[in-house]
Amino acid sequence: MTDPGELGFSNRTGRPPGRLITLASRVLPGIRRVQSQIEPYAEFWQERNRAELRRNGPLCVALGDSMAQGIGASGPEGGWAGRLAPALGSSWRLVNLSQYGARVDDVLDRQLPAALRLAPDLLVCLVGSNDLMQPRHQDGIGDRYVRLLDRLPRGTVIGNQPGTFAAALQVNGLIDDAVRRRGLVLAELRDPRTRHWRGKLASDRFHPNDRGYHAIAEVFTEALRRAGYRPRRSG
């Protein structure tokens, strides 16, 4: 059993939301409503992680960004990562090391080292949207993703990108190669359920809502089954 005080990890990157988002949230209630979730959802996972690390049982660690935090859902456990807990079953512990606004470097430099210190039985990861959606962060994403993929343990369940623009295709090619070469497990988000977003977006029109997260969690749950785990269907 791990002492939660030894983890030394925060579910906050320390970076404020971007200037455009901050300005838009002042005048658009839908964006403001979603942005108001950032701090309480991070606090929820911080406390939840401490509680999970006090328990015994097999350990699943989630890595990622605001979508693993559940931003846009009706509650923090409504994100794709939170929905894996009931799917895996009560014997499993779920520690969620995701951070709002996280990019590939945040997972590589902060989240993954913290996860590996916990020696998890299962690692799940979905990251890249914040790199891909902001042109200034697209430069070098291939190199960053190669470094991340080369450090993920065999058996890690990794989600790819549903986008069809050039940078997303580059990332997906690297993920496909790592799945073949390194024994990672693919959560295939090019699936129609997670490629078409009508009725599945929160009020900021960017983050998924409960329906969107349900679809992502279904894809991850199916990947876990292929990897030999026997999770229940996500709820």
DSSP 78: G
Q: Give CA–CA dist 235/103, Å, rounded.
A: 27
pLDDT at 4 over 50: no
pLDDT at 19 over 90: no
Give the angle subtended at the CA of 60 by the CAs of 59 and 61, to the nearest 5°.
115
Q: Which amino acid is at 100?
A: Y
**pLDDT value at residue 26:** 66
Averaged pLDDT score across all residues of the chain: 92
**pLDDT value at residue 235:** 56
User: What is the tens place of the pLDDT at every residue in 132-185?
Assistant: 988 888 999 999 999 999 999 999 999 999 999 999 999 999 999 999 999 999
User: What is the tens place of the pLDDT at every residue in 40-82?
Assistant: 999 999 999 999 999 999 999 999 999 999 999 999 999 999 9
State the virtual CA torsion across 192, 197, 201, 206 in degrees, nearest 10: 100
| CB 73 within 8 Å of CB 124 | no
Q: How far is CA 188 from CA 49, 128, 139, 154, 192, in A?
A: 27, 14, 24, 17, 10
Q: Give CA–CA dist 189/161, Å, rounded.
A: 6
User: What is the tens place of the pLDDT at every residue in 89-132?
Assistant: 999 999 999 999 999 999 999 999 999 999 999 999 999 999 99
Average pLDDT over residues 179-203: 97
pLDDT at 27 over 70: no
- Specify the DSSP element, H or E, that contains 219: helix 210-226
Please state which of the four CATH numbers 1.10.12.10, 3.40.50.1110, 3.30.360.10, 3.40.50.720 is assigned to the domain occupying 15-226: 3.40.50.1110
Instruction: Pull the structure tokens for residue 125.
Output: 């990861």
pLDDT at 198 over 80: yes
Q: Which amino acid is at 160?
A: N
**pLDDT value at residue 24:** 63
